[in-house]
């Protein structure tokens, strides 16, 4: 964490960060235009190709770097081995995404034919939805090889969950969980994964009926599927098809990143692209974050993105979103610690606790993490016996509430 006068801010790339992390930050800034075209790394740090490639793959930005190397946005002279690693990541991402997006079209057509209202989320939207602004109709990631996706995320109303699952089976997707685990996930969870193999590639779909489960450390800002469809989405023409609005998807992107303590830079890049695509109605964004109890999550994401990628976020907006002074400083400390090289999971878990809308919510969640309710056990298909419940508080205290995240 760093102080500038009275300002305290998250440090994504601290001064004592590894050379690989500092090099990667420079390359990512060059790829998204955050530094002047042609500016090279102004430090004398040795470029360790293996280390930079390893963290580029972990942060899911290697395909982006390949495209930036190809079109001249990155002008640093880099080892051939590093460029080849990024190129392999790009082609693997492109192949997987093309197959996944084709499967996604098939799924949406099946849902539409059956009259189920559904909306794609996260990477699926970034790769397909038209960007905001006149004269720029394409998606934020115009090249489908530049944004890795682990799966296709799809949200439906809770009342449509079972029927949606049957439709996914009808187009060849099978649930990943066993029958007993699936029953537990339906009872206490918020999503379930499906799998199909297309042309030798594993395609996964995550069917959501809420943004987070009742067992989540961020359940205070969780939304039901029908609320997401009603308040954050707009109809896209077909009977059942919907897409997140620009503000809705930006809020959902921040919420998703917060669930993982923003530990992948690709999520910060997602936020950056959404902010710079066209002028934003910042007042509406702050109002929406307040209504969804997601101000701290949006604040944390925008602060980190502003530092890493120099995203133009007004200070007044950050002031409107920021928690109180004490919680803000603690949040900065835990996020900064979670973003250090080799950091464990504990600082990120603490950060998620602090992302609640108020101290009351933080305290309530901490107490619940120590002694979870029946939903936590139901979400895992476990029996919340007295013996198990008595054992959990000690385990949770040692793990800073990590288990229920």
Q: What is the pLDDT of residues 369-385, one digit of tens each?
A: 666 666 666 655 566 56
Place of tokens 């899911």: 60
3-state secondary structure of 194: strand
Rounded distance, CA 321 to CA 341, Å? Answer: 28
Burial category of 276 from C-beta neighbours within 10 Å (exposed 0-12, middle 13-18, buried 19 and up):
middle
Q: What is the pLDDT of residues 163-219, one digit of tens each?
A: 999 999 999 999 998 766 666 666 667 899 999 999 999 999 999 999 877 666 676
Arithmetic mean of pLDDT, 137-147: 90
- In this prediction, residue 385 carries a pLDDT of 61
Task: Name the residue ranges covered by the structural domains of the chain.
Answer: 1-78, 94-244
Query: What is the dotted CATH code of the domain comprising 94-244?
Result: 3.30.460
Place of tokens 């590639």: 201
Arithmetic mean of pLDDT, 131-152: 81
Rounded distance, CA 239 to CA 317, Å? Answer: 37
Q: Do 302 and 311 touch, CB atoms closer than 8 A?
A: yes
Confidence of residue 74 (pLDDT cuts 50, 70, 90): very high
Q: What is the pLDDT of residues 261-295, one digit of tens each?
A: 888 999 999 999 999 998 999 999 999 999 888 89
Handedness of CA 9, 10, 14, 20 (dihedral sign): negative
pTM higher than 0.85 for the full model?
A: yes
């Amino acid at each position: 964490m760093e102080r500038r006068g009275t300002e305290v801010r998250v440090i994504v790339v601290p001064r004592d960060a590894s050379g690989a992390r500092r090099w990667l930050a420079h390359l990512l800034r060059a790829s998204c235009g955050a530094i002047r075209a042609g500016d090279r790394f102004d430090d004398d740090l040795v470029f360790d190709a293996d280390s930079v490639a390893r963290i580029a793959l972990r942060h899911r930005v290697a395909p982006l770097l390949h495209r930036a190397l190809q079109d001249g946005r990155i002008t640093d002279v880099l080892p051939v081995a590093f460029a080849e690693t990024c190129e392999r990541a790009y082609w693997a991402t492109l192949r997987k995404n093309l197959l996944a997006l084709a499967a996604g079209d098939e799924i949406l057509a099946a849902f539409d034919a059956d009259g189920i209202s559904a909306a794609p989320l996260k990477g699926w939207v970034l790769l397909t939805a038209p960007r905001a602004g006149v004269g720029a109709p394409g998606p934020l990631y115009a090249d489908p090889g530049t944004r890795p996706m682990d799966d296709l995320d799809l949200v439906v109303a809770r009342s449509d969950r079972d029927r949606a699952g049957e439709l996914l089976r009808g187009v060849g997707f099978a649930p990943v969980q066993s029958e007993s685990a699936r029953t537990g996930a339906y009872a206490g969870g918020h999503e379930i994964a499906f799998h199909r193999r297309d042309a030798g590639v594993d395609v996964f779909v995550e069917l959501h009926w809420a943004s987070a489960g009742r067992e989540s450390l961020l359940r205070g800002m969780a939304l039901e599927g029908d609320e997401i469809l009603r308040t954050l989405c707009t109809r896209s023409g077909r009977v059942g098809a919907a897409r997140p609005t620009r503000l809705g998807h930006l809020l959902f992107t921040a919420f998703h990143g917060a669930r993982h303590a923003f530990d992948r830079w690709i999520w910060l890049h997602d936020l950056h692209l959404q902010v710079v695509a066209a002028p934003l109605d910042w007042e509406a964004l702050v109002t929406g974050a307040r209504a969804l109890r997601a101000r701290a999550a949006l604040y944390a994401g925008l602060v980190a993105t502003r530092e890493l990628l120099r995203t133009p976020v007004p200070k007044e907006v950050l002031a409107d979103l920021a928690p109180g002074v004490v919680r803000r400083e603690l949040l900065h400390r835990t996020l900064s610690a979670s973003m250090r090289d080799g950091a464990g999971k504990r600082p990120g878990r603490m950060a998620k606790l602090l992302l609640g809308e108020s101290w009351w919510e933080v305290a309530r969640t901490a107490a619940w993490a120590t002694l979870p309710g029946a939903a936590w056990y139901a979400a895992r298909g476990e029996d919340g016996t007295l013996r198990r419940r008595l054992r959990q508080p000690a385990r949770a205290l040692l793990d800073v509430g990590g288990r229920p995240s």
